[in-house]
């Protein structure tokens, strides 16, 4: 149709950031784990709009909740109290351990992290903020400064998102989730080795460049970095329980716990960025931090909270909220009635549909099968993640472990799409395929993807 023709004309890499730039995909409809393009082609969606569609595209229950609210009240601002806001905050708070019970609603993850940063500074009276290397925390000026992943920064000296940015206070953490040659501390990137030494040993032969260490050594380096490079007083530390954009990167055992301890010794608060890991995506727990045996002082979230509807939140303690209450906080759209009704229905649906269990079951199955590919193919360097937060790191070969070049990544990526599956790309070098589907996919869907992925790798190897 003509409107499709017009969109095709205007949609190019110069005007719009489209991932499939060779042959863009024009999506016009979605249902659960499926998307349809304007030509009627169906795709299995394994990226969920970047881990955002938590329970399924246009999930009937969530859609019904949205419709119901749309007919009653769209907007008032939080100057007034309205039932959906009240009910939602109460419900969301019940998902957190004490003392995490005070909720602020925003419209995105960046906004949530911006707010958390402000609250941490007001509460502690300190200014410096830490994050881990390879992290992603948002695209607003402040959160772009906080984000460590260089791929998402703009090369403007002393400006937006340059290595040390508008926030000269931002300090890069000691730990790296990308290519280990980049990291002053040789750490787990080459192994993705959350599981520690055992995993290293079992896969050691494929990791010639990697200086794999025992957990205690990683923790020793963390302590050393704090002792030598971290200011004596800090405001906060932000950590993703598993790095998302960084490529499903996990930490060694007890690493996050130790970081929390070191941060608190310096008067800082610990903030879990659950924008990607929350709402059951890791399978084993509802929140990613629960897999690390820590309780943060603040939790930020977005994406999966609204199943695709714009929303975010900061959850914190009454004590931190009291420090913040001294100022004025206003957010026109944050927690609007429609968002609250949707988010409330998302929480119910995750429970009713067993989405967290699906994450665990299908995620574990996918990782087991993908690990077989890793053992079989020279260009698959690592398979890692938890639940339906999976990274497949691609390398030129297992000796050099250099990232597979962007062109090759693009070829496989487009091939997978042409065979009917949408996945994501990430990692600091764009070398990691990311799988984070709506949490309603089935084993059959997983098998379909595995067959497609296998074929696309074979196709690439044949062409090489």
CB of 136 to ligand PMP, least distance (A): 5
Which span sits near ligand PMP by CB under 6 A: 108-116, 163-171, 330-338, 428-436? 108-116
With CB under 6 A as the contact rule, the residue among 142, 206, 221, 276 that binds ligand PMP is: 276
Q: How large is the greatest C-alpha to C-alpha distance in the chain, in angstroms?
A: 64
Omega of the bond prior to 99 within 30 degrees of 0, cis?
yes
Count of residues touching ligand PMP (by CB under 6 A): 16
Cβ atoms of 415 and 460 closer than 8 Å: yes
Residues 301-360 that bind ligand PMP (CB under 6 A): 302
Which of 30, 56, 84, 109 binds ligand PMP (CB under 6 A)? It is 109
Residue 434 in contact with ligand PMP, rule: CB under 6 A: no
Contact characters 214-243, ligand PMP, x per CB under 6 A:
--------------------------x---
Taking contact as CB under 6 A, which single stretch among the options 36-44, 105-113, 118-126, 370-378 is the one that binds ligand PMP?
A: 105-113
Could you tell me the sign of the dihedral formed by the alpha carbons of 54, 55, 57, 59, in that order? negative
Site track 285-304 with ligand PMP (rule: CB under 6 A), x = hit: -----------------x--
Least distance to ligand PMP, CB of residue 111, Å? 7
Residue of 421, 417, 423 lying closest to 388 (CA atoms): 423
Closest CB to ligand PMP among 244 and 438?
Answer: 244
| 387 is an interface residue for ligand PMP by CB under 6 A | no
Among 108, 149, 282, 349, which residue sits at the site for ligand PMP (rule: CB under 6 A)?
Answer: 108
E strands in 363-412: 380-386, 389-394
Which single residue is written with the structure tokens 């026109």? 332
d(CA 179, CA 177): 7
Q: Which residues contact 130 (CB under 8 A, 6 or more apart)?
A: 171, 172, 173, 230, 234, 236, 237, 238, 263, 268
247 in contact with ligand PMP (CB under 6 A)? no
Q: Which of 135, 407, 118, 334 is nearest to 246 (CA)?
A: 135
389 binds ligand PMP (CB under 6 A): no
HSE value, Cβ hemisphere, 13 Å, CA-based, for 191: 27
CA–CA dist 389, 384 (Å, integer): 9
Residue 275 is a binding residue for ligand PMP (CB under 6 A): yes
Q: Taking CB under 6 A as the rule, does residue 114 contact ligand PMP? A: no
- Contact assessment for residue 200 and residue 236, using Cβ atoms and an 8 Å cutoff: no
CB nearest ligand PMP: which residue? 109
Please say whether the beta carbons of 311 and 105 come within 8 A.
Answer: yes
Task: Say if CB 159 and CB 165 are below 8 A apart.
Answer: yes
The yes or no reply on residue 93 touching ligand PMP (CB under 6 A) is: no
Query: Of 145 and 244, which has the nearer Cβ to ligand PMP?
Result: 244
Among 50, 118, 162, 450, binds ligand PMP (CB under 6 A): 50
| Residues binding ligand PMP (CB under 6 A) | 50, 108-110, 113, 136-139, 240, 244-245, 273, 275-276, 302
């Amino acid at each position: 149709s003509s409107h499709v023709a017009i969109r095709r004309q205007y949609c190019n890499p110069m005007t719009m950031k489209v991932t499939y730039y060779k042959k863009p995909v024009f999506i016009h409809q979605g249902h659960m784990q499926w998307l349809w393009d304007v030509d009627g082609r169906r795709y299995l969606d394994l990226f969920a709009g970047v881990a955002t569609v938590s329970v399924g595209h246009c999930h009937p229950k969530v859609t019904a909740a949205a419709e119901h609210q749309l007919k009653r009240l769209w907007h008032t601002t939080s100057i007034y109290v309205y039932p959906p806001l009240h009910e939602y905050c109460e419900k969301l708070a019940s998902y957190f351990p004490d003392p995490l019970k005070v909720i602020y609603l925003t419209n995105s993850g960046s906004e949530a992290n911006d707010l958390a940063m402000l609250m941490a500074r007001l509460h502690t009276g300190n200014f410096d903020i830490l994050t881990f290397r390879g992290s992603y925390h948002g695209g607003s000026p402040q959160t772009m400064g906080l984000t460590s992943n260089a791929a998402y920064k703009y090369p403007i000296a002393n400006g937006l998102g340059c290595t040390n940015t508008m926030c000269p206070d931002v300090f890069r953490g000691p730990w790296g989730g990308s290519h280990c040659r980049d990291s002053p501390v040789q750490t787990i990137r080459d192994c993705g080795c959350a599981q520690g030494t055992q995993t290293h040993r079992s896969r050691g032969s494929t990791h010639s460049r990697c200086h794999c260490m025992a957990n205690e050594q990683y923790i020793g380096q963390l302590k050393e970095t704090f002792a030598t490079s971290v200011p004596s007083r800090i405001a906060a530390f932000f950590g993703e329980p598993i790095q998302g954009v960084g490529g499903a990167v996990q930490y060694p055992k007890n690493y996050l716990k130790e970081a929390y301890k070191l941060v608190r010794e310096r008067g800082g608060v610990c903030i879990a960025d659950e924008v990607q890991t929350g709402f059951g995506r890791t399978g084993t727990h509802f929140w990613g931090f629960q897999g690390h045996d820590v309780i943060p002082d603040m939790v930020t979230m977005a994406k999966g909270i609204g199943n695709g509807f714009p929303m975010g939140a900061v959850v914190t303690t009454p004590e931190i909220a009291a420090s913040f209450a001294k100022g004025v906080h206003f957010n026109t759209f944050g927690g609007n009635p429609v968002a609250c009704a949707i988010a409330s229905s998302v929480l119910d649906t995750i429970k009713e549909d067993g989405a967290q269990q699906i994450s665990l079951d299908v995620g574990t199955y996918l990782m087991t099968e993908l690990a077989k590919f890793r053992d079989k193919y020279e260009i698959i360097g690592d398979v890692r993640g938890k639940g339906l937060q999976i990274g497949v790191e691609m390398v030129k070969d297992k000796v050099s472990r250099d990232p597979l070049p962007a062109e090759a990544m693009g070829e496989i990526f487009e091939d997978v799409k042409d065979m009917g599956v949408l996945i994501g790309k990430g990692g600091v070098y764009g070398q990691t395929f990311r799988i984070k589907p709506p949490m309603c996919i089935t084993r059959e869907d997983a098998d379909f993807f595995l067959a497609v992925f296998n074929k696309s790798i074979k196709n690439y190897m044949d062409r090489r």
